[in-house]
Amino acid sequence: MTTAPDLFPRTTGTVYEEIPARPAPMLVSGPLAWMRENLFKSRFDTVLTIVTTILLVVFTLALANWVIAQANWLVITRNLRLLMVGLFPIDQVWRVNLAVLFVAFALGYSIYAYIRVSRFVQAALIGLVLTMMVVPAASALLFSTPPSFLAVGAVEVQSGTISELPQPRAAFLARQGDTVRFEIALDALNDTDLVGMSGFMDRAASGVYNAARARFRTEAEIARLDALLAGDTLTERQRAAAQDSRDGLSMPEETTATYQVNTESISIRILDGATLAQVSSAVLDIAQARDAQAGERTNSGQPIEYPVYEFVAPADGWYVLEKSLPEGSETVGILDVRGIPPILERNFTGYNEYVRITDDFTVVGGRPMFEDSQIPFISMTDNLYRGERSLPDYMSLFAGPILALLGRGLIPFIGLLAVGYGAGYALVQLRPRAPRNQSAHAPARALVGPLWAVVLTLFFVLIYGVNGYSTLDFAFMFASFAWVGWMFFAGITLNRASWGRPLFASVALTGIAQVVLLHGDTSDNVSGILLGSLVWMTIGLLAARQGYINSQRFSFRESVIGFGVSSLIWLALFLIVPLLLNAASSLGLIPALAQENVIGIVETRRWGGLLLTMVLTVVAILASFPLGVLLALGRRSSLPLVRVVCTLFIELVRGVPLITVLFMAQLLVPLINPGLANVENAIRAMVGLTLFSAAYLAENVRGGLQSVPPGQDEAARALGMGSIQITLFITLPQALRAVIPALVGQCIALFKDTSLVALVGLLDLTGMAKSITAQSEFVGTQSETYVYITVVYFIVSYFMAFISRRIEASGSGAVRRFG
């Protein structure tokens, strides 16, 4: 039987020794090895790496050059408010700020609940805050505002076809303590010096500058043509043309000589902007200056007395600089002025505003008048300084102000993010009872939903507003909320201690007294008082009941803390705040309380910028979510009519471009029903976006529903669950979790798609950018504006994508499949 060849000779069994686990070997070590491994693995890889590097470097350099040297970022600094909140009334902007801070708090809290923030992100945020704090302060400290050059005299300055007469007066804004330094521009002794000047000028000074510049250009052109004609590289026709051009040109006279720049003394008077009363005056003696300069050249030992005049502003406000040469003088003087920041006049928002570029000092109203006409103010005349600025000028005029302005918004935002984050941390420290194998941060998650509900409600209430509420009313209203919380904690104590019942009774009575008092105070009719009191009492009792039910979940310490905190809040809101407000109003610090309309309604047509973009996005997302889910369920319904209607809607909307939907909402709706013509544009855009988004969302959700295995439905049915229960508890949660990436992608797409509302006349971020670049003072700054909104869109989209990636990674969004 054993004739078969012994292919597998039997060996004796062996028991192997245990081998301990070792760490994996490092395959790559050192930067050179890393580069060899990752960048230059093969010849093809090397070529690709080099080409990519070159492209990257070229692009980065070009961009940096443009950003630093070419771009005029004033368009952003000056219009930042418009880009952020649109035409929101200036005195109401605090509401938007407050609402955004609430959102920042909620964001910080949610981030704590769901996401590990890496040290890198923390460091980046801290770095950002420091940059925004340090750079403006440092650039204000280190670099003074560059000089402005002003022309003086009664001579018309020719600049091309335009002739300018130096203005005898110029208005400027100064803040108390600002030092303004006037000096004769001694540098401008010849044309080269004139061309070397750059800075903010009035038009006549600019004319002198341009004339000097033109002379040099002509000179260069003549030299070029002479060289050409002297050589023998030209054809006959070219030679004739060049000769023609040469004959048309003649060497102009020196500009400084033509206008006799800086040959006479300049008198300066500073007048008060409102009364035109003289505040101060001086004469800058040019002869003395020339002597001094000559002295400096020959004899450097002597101290030089420059004719300098310094003016210290006694108060904030308008001042008028009056400058003149001696009577009958036929010359032009150039004044070198330091310490007057350029001003912009704006009336884009319906307010006439004058804003200093460097520090955003804003004055609303009119500017100084002389003989019934407005006095021109010192401003930049054009963008001639582009690319010709030194770094200090760049820092003091651009980088400093823009960072200071951004920081004013972003630093509180980041601060509140941190506070929200800390609140989550504090909560987890207070109730460290995470169930096993859940993240330690999980207890914080329970409050994320309610927190957002409250924050978003507050957000919309603050932005849209409520008419007829005084500060006092709000204090009392929040006192009622605080009372409800108080009742909750009183409810906890009911059954736990001997003093629970008396405590509960006293809290309840306090609240009832409060409710009755308040409604007696604010309502006129008895039924209103009764109804309001009943509603609040019911809510309070429900809260107490809930506290009683949940009493086992709170430790003694927690219930005491909760009770104490809610009592303090109630006391503060019901007693202290009204007392303070009353005191303030009786002292005349704030307007009478009864008439105050703290957050009056702000019509949606005044919403704009990023605010409108975000509101449109959030409303469309919130509204389209339930609608989309219903449509998805409807499309999978077994009822044919429901199915057909849902399918028809989805396919119809998906088959039409968004812009069409928006135009339909804007234009066709009033035709369908004239009553709808009064609906505000922004609301119609919201409806259009919602319907559009719902159709796409429905398809995403349907995909998710299809991905739920049929076994899930069977298991739920076998347990006796009804179809609504199955949808709510089994199918939908799994379907939605499966499509989170698609849903977030859709949110981001929707956020970007809101820019289309600019085409139907809304001033969202894009619409605002369009109308900003249409302002005459910012003509030609489309690049800067669109680069800016690109960055804003990118940051918000990237933030959304980042959050969604982290939520998916954190597992709470992941579908946990078997195996």
CB atoms within 10 A of CB 293: 13
- Which two three-digit tokens encode residue 106? 């909620």
What are the tokens at 602? 């702000």
Q: Strand order in 353-356's β-sheet?
A: 343-346, 353-356, 362-364
In the complex, least distance from residue 536 CB atom to other proteins, rounded to whole angstroms: 29
Name which of 557 and 817 has its Cβ closer to other proteins.
817
Instruction: Between 260 and 812, name the residue whose CB sits nearer to other proteins.
Output: 812
Helix (H) or strand (E) holding 356: strand 353-356
Assigned token pair, 90: 């200036």
Nearest Cα neighbor of 687 from 648, 668, 709, 661 is 661
- Identify which of residues 129 and 742 has a Cβ nearer to other proteins in the complex: 742
Minimum CB separation from other proteins for residue 494, in Å? 19
Judge whether 204 and 157 are in contact, CB under 8 Å.
yes
Please state at what angle helix 640-654 crosses helix 609-635, rounded to 10 degrees: 140
Query: Of the two residues 433 and 654, which places its CB atom closer to other proteins in the complex?
Result: 433
Separation in Å, CA 570 to CA 360, 453, 468, 512, 595: 40, 22, 23, 13, 24
What is the 3 state secondary structure string of 498-510?
A: CCHHHHHHHHHHH
C-alpha torsion 61→63→68→71, nearest 10 = 150
Give residues with Cβ within 8 angstroms of 191, minimum separation 6. Answer: 212, 215, 216, 254, 255, 256
Closest approach, Cβ 433 to other proteins, in A, equals 12
Nearer Cβ to other proteins, position 589 or 718? 718
Query: In whole angstroms, how close is the CB of 811 to other proteins at the nearest point?
Result: 9
Name the minimum Å distance from CB 554 to other proteins.
16
Shortest CB 650 distance to other proteins, Å: 26
Q: Give the C-alpha distances (Å, rounded to integers) separating 819 from 38, 378, 791, 810, 816.
A: 35, 75, 43, 19, 9
Of 182 and 548, the one with the shorter C-beta distance to other proteins is 548
CA distance 724 to 726: 5
Cβ proximity to other proteins, 5 vs 711, nearer residue: 711
Beta carbons within 10 angstroms of residue 510's beta carbon: 17
From the CB of 633, what's the least distance to other proteins, in Å?
A: 18
Min dist. Cβ of residue 807 to other proteins (A): 14
Q: Considering the complex, what minimum distance in angstroms separates the CB of residue 436 from other proteins?
A: 5
Q: Are 152 and 334 in contact (CB under 8 A)?
A: yes
> Least distance to other proteins from the beta carbon of 741, Å?
16
Q: H or E segment at 271?
A: strand 266-272
Cβ distance to other proteins smaller for residue 734 or 766:
734
Q: How far is the CB of 645 from other proteins (least distance, A)?
A: 24
Q: 435 is written with which tokens?
A: 């169930």
Quick one: 510 or 712, whose CB is closer to other proteins? 712
Comparison of 174 and 716: residue with beta carbon closer to other proteins: 716
Nearer Cβ to other proteins, position 230 or 718?
A: 718
Roughly what angle, to the nearest 10 degrees, separates helices 609-635 and 740-753?
140
CA nearest neighbour of 692 among 739, 660, 733, 735: 660
Residues of this chain that interact with other proteins (CB under 8 A) are: 435-438, 709, 711-712, 714-722, 725, 729-730, 733-734, 737, 815-819
